[in-house]
Amino acid sequence: MRSWVSKHVRTLAVLLGVLSFSAGGLAAYAKVEKETRVVRRVERAGPALRKRQAAWNELKRTLTAEIRRFDGQAGVVVEDLQTGWSLAHQPKRLFPAASIIKVPMMTACYEAAQEGRLDLNSKVVVRPADKVPGSGVLKQIPGKTVVPVSQLVEWMITESDNTATNVLMSRLGMDYFNRHFQELGLRDTKLSRRMMDFSKRKKGVENYTTAGDMARVLEKLYREDAVSPQASRAGLELLKRQHLRDRIPAMLPGGVPVAHKTGLERSVCHDAGIIFTHRGDVLICVLTQRKVKKGNSRPAKQFIARLAQHAYQYQMAQN
């Protein structure tokens, strides 16, 4: 490469010797000079890019080995958000969505607000009959509770509040959410029942999604292309305030920003998010399902945490 650059520069010198300082001569000089600068930039960037590519290939080998050792099914998408390089393992495999479906539900709420269907500043009365078990703070508040819609959206994400999610579902309707999912390009994500509706679950009615769909909505938020730039930024900020940190953030150094959403239900354990570092950001979505009894989610959580740790270490190794 260097010999080619030197030859290019010598050619430039010869060219300048035969060109007059007419307008055409100056234009030719400027063009050749610009091309020479580009070549030199490529020469300087080449080794760094090759080093990054080698590190990425090593990361893929490490992640693939982790996935092969995992005792269960996994849908995985990992993407270097600076280069666009990605690893995908079963990205279209359907998994019961659990609470991870609340991410595109959040963007649907922002779209409804933009359309005037939902006033985020209005207040909603949450009655005792609305409250359901599982994650959340609303179930712990006795009696009726008056809550702003914006607070319901926040609790749906930061606390994974099932009651807040169901109230928002009642306000907009299941069909509205599913239409929004399709508009986002989430072809395999569907909302079919309310949170904690065990009677429908026993009948085989389930909410489904894929690692590929979750990666898509997260990247749209990151690129500020989910509903609007303002809505995308607001959504990422809520995801950064997620309280459950026993998966993607679990093995990362304290203080590393992670915008993510977990999901946990019966045999499934998920986490999907973006790890932010000063050397680059990485998207990671891991959906898992194992044939185990309820409560034994530790192996899946540790598996997700290890994949996230590997992805973080890859980013931090970059110059």
Helix (H) or strand (E) holding 2: helix 2-18
Domain assignment present for residue 166? The answer is no
Contacts of 213 (CB under 8 A, 6+ apart): 104, 181, 186, 187, 188, 189
Report DSSP state, residue 81.
T
pTM of the model: 0.84
CATH value at residue 232: 3.40.710.10
SS3 of 223-261: the string is: CCCCCCHHHHHHHHHHHHCCCCCCCCCCCCCCCCCEEEE
Structural domain contains residue 259: yes
Does 68 reside within a domain?
yes
The answer to whether residue 176 sits within a structural domain is no
Give me the pLDDT at residue 64, please.
98
In the block, residue with structure tokens 């579902």: 169
The conformation of residue 98, written as its DSSP 8-state character, comes to G
Question: Is 43 within the bounds of a domain?
Answer: no
Tell me, yes or no, whether 222 lies in a domain. yes
Q: What is the pLDDT of residue 36?
A: 52
**From the first residue on, what is the mean pLDDT of each consecutive set of 10 residues in the chain (319 residues)?**
42 39 44 47 66 95 98 97 97 98 98 97 95 90 94 97 97 98 98 94 95 98 98 98 95 97 94 96 98 81 98 92
Instruction: Tell me the residue range of the domain where 256 lies.
Output: 62-115+188-316
What pLDDT is attached to residue 237?
98
| pLDDT recorded at residue 108 | 98
Number of domains in the chain: 1
Per-residue pLDDT at 15: 39
pLDDT, residue 292, reads 74
**Tokens 């508040």 — which residue?**
141
Phi, psi angles (nearest 5°) of residue 79: -135, 135
Q: Which residues contact 244 (CB under 8 A, 6 or more apart)?
A: 160, 262
Comparing CA positions, the residue from 58, 14, 46, 47 lying closest to residue 32 is 14
Residue 52 lies in a domain: no
Q: Per the structure block, which two tokens stand in for 36?
A: 């020479």
Phi, psi of 263 (to 5 degrees): -150, 135
Q: Is residue 134 part of a domain?
A: no
